[in-house]
Structure 1
Amino acid sequence: MTGFTNLGALIDRARDPAKPALIDLSGAAPREVSYAELDALSNAAARGLLRRGLRRGDRVGILAANSTEFLAALNGAMRAGLVAVPVNWRFPPATVEYVLRNSGAALVLTDAARAAAVPEGVPGITFGSAAWDALLDPGDFTPVMPEPAEPALFLYTSGSTGRPKGVVLSHQSHLWVVEQRLAGADMARERVLIAAPLYHMNGLALAQLASAAHITVVLLPAFEARSYIRAIGAHRVTWITGVPPMMAMLLQERETLTATDTSCVRHVRCGSAPVSPALVAAIRAAFPQAGFVNGYGTTEAGPVVFGRHPEGIPTPPLSVGYPHPAVELRLNADNVLEQKCPALMNGYWNRPDLKSPLTPDGFYVTGDVFHRDENGFFTVVGRIDDMFISGGENIFPSEVEKVLESHPAVEQSAVIPVPDAIKGTKPVAFVVRRGAVDEAALKAHALEHAPAYMHPRRIWFLDALPLMGTNKIDKARLAALAAERLGAD
């Protein structure tokens, strides 16, 4: 056990208070923030929020890019017994408003670039403003001791298939996550780079782990491939993490990679979407001194799901690992993963219209289809709701993408279904090239390496794939683009 009791208070004051907690790259120059300074700022935010009149259980929206103030506001809200609601600032304005109103946010803390997105009638305070300075109330603060299952966070899902859902996470659920990830881990020498947004589980859970482990986070306000690479070299980062599209974009910056000493990187973790063999090979070639982990997790049930095999059997290249001993897993009749563990959410906030994603015996139905091999290793096949039927055959886009990305001239790909008068739907693809290849050659490659029904009927080339706010590929935008291009044919 770690001894932590409040998710906003993951700083061990018995450890070196002068050690850098953050190297914040959100401003014009790097800003080093010690653990003592981050702790004091978090306490000042907690005291100020309560002095303002907020009461236990009130929600506090955070609408901002990654920064020291973001983390201090997040910590402070939770220390005070309030519920932090980090908001995806890349959502359209109407969706941002929906999230803040659905959550019932009593106050929104924002940065200057996003202050205008705070809806009318919802109080807002901008980091760095006179109002922010007035909110802060420096001094000691004893974090609230949460009741069992007391909410700490609402994390809103991306909303790619409808209105975002507010996932209610308790203090205890993610304190358990931190305990499990710290157990047996020697992280003292690590330095972590975070560019994934802190409103998403990928970046937030790592920031919380780093704080509990008392290591330094190099914090970028958002992901930009060249800045990310330069930060690795300049700040001697040992641990990098991100979703597969982030890694693919990073690897496209060959000149910057060549010019930067990245030999300090010892750990590369990729998660939140399936990876292809080509991407894994490219990551290992770019960071030959680093171990690679293909991670898996969900907002609803946390990032502790898989790990190493208990008998030491090596994890296959595309596998997410062997079931973690503290987690119960099973595959249902459709090979969809179902999970039960202490990190499980309380439920979806203020959405009585939604069917519960829990089975009668308490397993969370992830919606992710898996293959399990003879040694018990799990590999992601794709989202059950991404699967489409073409001429009676089931097609998972990720399987077609793996085939396309096995061509040496393909950097990235995204496959989507489009309507077809005969087959119902058919696959088409968008591709980012790294070398010379045309549509006919890629179709022939797909036909050679996969069943004919899987090959994309049209392939279009882009300089970059559009991303959602979570840095996953925005397939809704690609669907609109495909409809536009097919209409022009």
Structure 2
Amino acid sequence: MSSAVKNLGMIGSEFRNDARPAVIDLWDPENPRTVDYSTFHASCDAVARGLVERGFKPGDRVGILCSNRVEFLEVFYGSMRAGVVPVMIGILLPADTVSWIVDDANVKLVFCETTLHDKLPTTIEATLIGADGENGFEAFKRPGPFEPFVPHGDDVAFLPYTSGSTGRPKGVVLSHRAHSWVAETISKDRDFAPSDRMIVAAPLYHKHAMNSIKCVLVGGSTVVLMRKFDARAYIDAVNRYRTTVVSGVPTIFAMMLQQRDLLTGHDYSFVRLATMGGAPATDTLIDAVADLFPKADIVTIFGITEASAALFGRHPERKPRPRHSIGWPIAGNDFRLVGGEDENFGTLHIRGPGLMNEYNNNPAETEKRLRNGWFDSGDILRRDEEGWYYFVGRGDDMFVSSGHNIYPGEVEVMLERHPDIEQALVVAAPDEIKYRIPYAFIVKRKGATLTEQDVKDHALKNAPPYQYPRKVIFLPAMPMNGVGKIDRKLLTAQAVDMVEEAQKGATV
């Protein structure tokens, strides 16, 4: 029999008797709830006892369809204590996709926020979060001590679903062994301690936010949990609770920095760490964040649901991280860059302790992406002479124009170096001659008088000619998807529609 491993649901349990806050829940900002470590761990145990009493066995699956609130965390960690596998379901998904995930994951019960109940298929049992009565969450719990399930080998801990850039989302089967290592590795790399308070506004069903929660629990820290991101409410919470760690995709930081009336006059020297991930960040944004948080380490993070965020971190000798680097390889991982002009550029393949078991019910995709212990990330990276790694772009986003490979991330970083450009997103538009050409969606800085020609001139001066955007579309703000990233798919579709409309006009 394989050796026992740590139950992921028990991380941070050494703090279970502490009266210090574990979660400051801002689901209802007018009535914040502070839940201490003792209460939080007792509630997780009560969820586990409730599942066992109702006949759930290790390996059974339960769904979580819920916005950010402490009950989400109690279900997530409580389920794993019983060996039951929580399945995280995106709250912005349409009802038919929710139904598909419930079926694909063989979910037997969904813990569902009352306002989201209509998204569930009528055939599935639900325990309602935010409701009283026998079907309510509090009635489900069974208070008392609980002896946690002891996992072995690659026993499954939890099951998130990727956003699915094409087709249906993919269930990513993640083990207790892998993610206990991930949680402890990330927390140690980022120096989480009981004195830390971290603000989290990204959705908990996404791995970025859940990794943050794990860091908090392992460090015995406190999470300030927002229901969703709102720039002004975020700044208010940072000030009110003096959060020492702030985190988000670059778009979140850009939107926060636009609220100058709220930021002016405050001293943010209490912030020690600001992490940015999910997309490249420009020099201008990094400098602005560094100015706002003068004593904070500004860290670009890189993570993959299938391979964790415990991939790159600090240099073992604490050498300074170069600007824009995603970090130094964390010990225990092996990397190779495949398909580039040399071994220092290409698609990242990963082998390490944080890898997924497989894709749920999808052996073809598992075989395609995970071979002989190596996972094909689909991300294009480069490595410098010293050994630091840098993110170039998604292989799926790369497109060919007149024989040239264009990585939108590189072009976006170049465009955002213009002092009047707040944000840029580059997509491929169809073209009869060049096959694909770059279109750029731009958000101007407040008060800027930027023109389309200004943007094109900047690109022609600072990049190869094939990268300059053939059309520039100005937007008041970038559209966001459910996990707080710019909705690239939506803007790509808009670019295609523009080309089609222009072609129709030319034939009239």
Cα distance between partner residues in 2 of 1:5 and 1:220: 29
Q: Is 1:11 matched with 2:12?
A: yes
Query: Which AA in structure 1 matches 2:210?
Result: L
Query: What secondary structure does 1:320 align onto?
Result: strand
What residue number does 1:451 align with? 464
Q: Is 1:408 matched with 2:409?
A: no
Query: What secondary structure does 1:356 align onto?
Result: helix
Q: Is 1:350 matched with 2:361?
A: yes
Q: Map 1:48-447; keep pairs closer than 5 Å.
A: 48-129=50-131, 130=133, 131=135, 132-183=137-188, 185=191, 187-258=193-264, 260-334=266-340, 335-358=346-369, 360-434=371-445, 435-447=448-460
Query: Which AA in structure 2 matches 1:416?
Result: V
Query: Which AA in structure 2 matches 1:22?
Result: V
Query: What secondary structure does 1:336 align onto?
Result: strand
Matched-pair contact (CA < 8 Å) for 1:11–1:39: no
Length, aligned pairs only: 487
* Shift in alpha-carbon separation, 1:357–1:256, aligned structure 2, 3 A: farther
Cα distance between partner residues in 2 of 1:176 and 1:58: 23
* Shift in alpha-carbon separation, 1:379–1:123, aligned structure 2, 3 A: same
Cα distance between partner residues in 2 of 1:214 and 1:346: 29
Cα distance between partner residues in 1 of 2:144 and 2:370: 46
Q: Map 1:40-51; keep pairs closer than 5 Å.
A: 40-51=42-53
Cα distance between partner residues in 2 of 1:66 and 1:230: 18
* Shift in alpha-carbon separation, 1:14–1:312, aligned structure 2, 3 A: closer
Describe the superposition over 1:306-352 as per-residue Cα deviations: whole angstroms up to 9, x where unpaired: 12234443211000111112211111123111111111100000113
Give the CA RMSD over aligned residues: 1.8
Matched-pair contact (CA < 8 Å) for 2:172–2:359: yes
> Structure 1: 5+ residue runs without aligned partners?
none
Query: Which AA in structure 1 matches 2:66?
Result: A
Cα distance between partner residues in 2 of 1:19 and 1:186: 15
Query: Which AA in structure 1 matches 2:205?
Result: Y
Of residues 474-483 and 250-259 in structure 1, the stretch that sits farther from structure 2 once superposed is 250-259
Matched-pair contact (CA < 8 Å) for 2:412–2:425: yes
CA shift, 1:24, in A, is 0.4
Query: What secondary structure does 2:9 align onto?
Result: coil
Query: What secondary structure does 1:40 align onto?
Result: helix
Query: What secondary structure does 2:459 align onto?
Result: helix
* Shift in alpha-carbon separation, 1:260–1:226, aligned structure 2, 3 A: farther
CA shift, 1:487, in A, is 4.0
Query: What secondary structure does 2:325 align onto?
Result: coil
Matched-pair contact (CA < 8 Å) for 2:338–2:348: yes
TM-score by length of 2: 0.92
What residue number does 1:31 align with? 33
Query: Which AA in structure 1 matches 2:25?
Result: D
Matched-pair contact (CA < 8 Å) for 2:429–2:499: no
Query: Which AA in structure 1 matches 2:347?
Result: V
* Shift in alpha-carbon separation, 1:431–1:14, aligned structure 2, 3 A: closer
CA shift, 1:16, in A, is 4.9
Query: Which AA in structure 2 matches 1:305?
Result: L
Q: Is 1:469 matched with 2:482?
A: yes
Matched-pair contact (CA < 8 Å) for 2:336–2:350: yes
Matched-pair contact (CA < 8 Å) for 1:404–1:410: yes
Structure 1 vs Structure 2: percent identity of aligned residues?
Answer: 41
CA shift, 1:75, in A, is 1.0
Describe the superposition over 1:380-403 as per-residue Cα deviations: whole angstroms up to 9, x where unpaired: 000111100001110000111011
* Shift in alpha-carbon separation, 1:261–1:101, aligned structure 2, 3 A: farther
CA shift, 1:284, in A, is 1.4
Structure 1 stretches of 4+ moved >6 Å: none
Cα distance between partner residues in 2 of 1:273 and 1:356: 27
Of residues 387-396 and 53-62 in structure 1, the stretch that sits farther from structure 2 once superposed is 53-62
CA shift, 1:139, in A, is 1.0
* Shift in alpha-carbon separation, 1:312–1:18, aligned structure 2, 3 A: closer
> Structure 2: 5+ residue runs without aligned partners?
341-345, 503-508
Query: What secondary structure does 1:427 align onto?
Result: strand
Query: What secondary structure does 2:326 align onto?
Result: coil
TM-score by length of 1: 0.96
Cα distance between partner residues in 2 of 1:91 and 1:145: 33
Of residues 364-373 and 305-314 in structure 1, the stretch that sits farther from structure 2 once superposed is 305-314
Query: What secondary structure does 2:13 align onto?
Result: coil
Query: What secondary structure does 1:75 align onto?
Result: helix
Query: What secondary structure does 2:470 align onto?
Result: coil
Cα distance between partner residues in 1 of 2:144 and 2:324: 49
Cα distance between partner residues in 1 of 2:59 and 2:314: 38
Query: Which AA in structure 2 matches 1:23?
Result: I
Matched-pair contact (CA < 8 Å) for 1:230–1:260: no
Query: Which AA in structure 2 matches 1:266?
Result: R
